[in-house]
Structure 1
Amino acid sequence: MKRRSIALALSLNLMVAFAWADEVQVAVAANFTAPVQAIAKDFEAATGHKVVASFGATGQFYTQIKNGAPFQVFLAADDETPIKLEKENEIVAGSRFTYAIGSLALWSAKPGLTVDRDTLKKGDFQHLSIANPKAAPYGLAATQTIDKLGLTSALQPRIVEGQNITQAYQFVATGNAEVGFVALSQIYKDGKIGSGSAWIVPPGLYQPIRQDAVILNKGKDNAAAKAFVEYLKGPKAAEVIKSYGYTL
């Protein structure tokens, strides 16, 4: 009887807590799709709050936010865009922090190939996929890498651009491009490349991809927005983030 009473009390407490649950609209850089889906699932189970995530290019999200999009939290693929929003008074003061540092990879969907910097120099391919460097930080990192290797002129005619890093990945996955620059997190899980062949680009070939998160002004009074950002800083989220090849 005592056990039933305790179980009932716990259930009632849980119901009361979930009754106060809220929903948070999160704009998420496309490279962070898989990690945030895993993090959101755990977060929702732990808090009762609901995460509604939209995925896309950081530059496009900036434009949408400036035009009044209903996002309350923004997980960018760089630090420059959140800093810009901070200077423009579009975020909750003090909410900006770096939630992950990303890595760039050159990837082919075909397994067993040797993919490295020589792949770019030899040019034994017709199409090289990258994300739009004006909208996607991973696309910018790709152009920086190509430039650092002195291959801009040679490779420019072969480049096909995706609107964001997800589309750049899809071009390679579907065979529309033989190789492409993608976020390591798209092809990496628990210490290994999931499929195909890849070269993890040395960090010295591109500017560090510091990915910052902010609470936007629309999330100022949203309990779920604050809770989600705090959860993102915690140890359980950190485990997920690192499992996809990011550093913290």
Structure 2
Amino acid sequence: MSATLEAIGVIRSGFEQRFGTPRQPGLVPAATAVLQLRPPYDEPAALRGLEACSHVWLLFGFHAVAARGWRPTVRPPRLGGNRRLGVFASRSPFRPNGLGLSVVRLQGLLLPPAPCGLRLADHDLLDGTPVYDIKPYLPYADAPPDAQAPAAFAAVPERLPVRFAEAVRPALAAAPAGFEALVRETLALDPRPAYRRGEHGRPHGVQLAGHEVRWMVDEGGVEVLEIRPMAR
């Protein structure tokens, strides 16, 4: 049995590389995005009533790793990257059909004369992600009060304090509104691989909203060392 999926739209977000993109939705409230709908799905009537929703489900494709196929077992970062788990017991992107499912905050609808789409926040979606479907989030049906998950997955990720070196203050002042919060919330999650978590003083770089951000982790948390606009 097989089926063909056609993307109804594409995500435009400030997460331009896998490194630094949150591993789950709901972790970076400052992360905003636009879902640009494609013809013939950019019909305003298809969005009628969605404005009453605070959140929506998005069915999307893990396009950045699609060529790497799937694996029956994976090593989730939340388990330290050393323990293997069945792919169906994880949220790994290396899945048989390469599909992901995220609940994201709906900030508003984009309607004519603008191209049709959705304004989103609090997401975990890489720029260029194809979206295959949209559904409203229904609290009574989608949040079972007795839901359980493995302890390692159920715990809210630890957040590190983030501070900015004085040298980056001019770049922050020149950046778009919300950029400082995006950097702070993203780096507080410590996007480094599990095997790097014990290292201090090693510089790292991440691309966020058109900027290259250099940072490191020390005993006091995360320090942002440099911010510079990326050449386009």
Point out the structure with the larger helix share.
1
* TM-score normalised by structure 1 residue count: 0.26
Could you say which structure has the higher strand fraction? 2
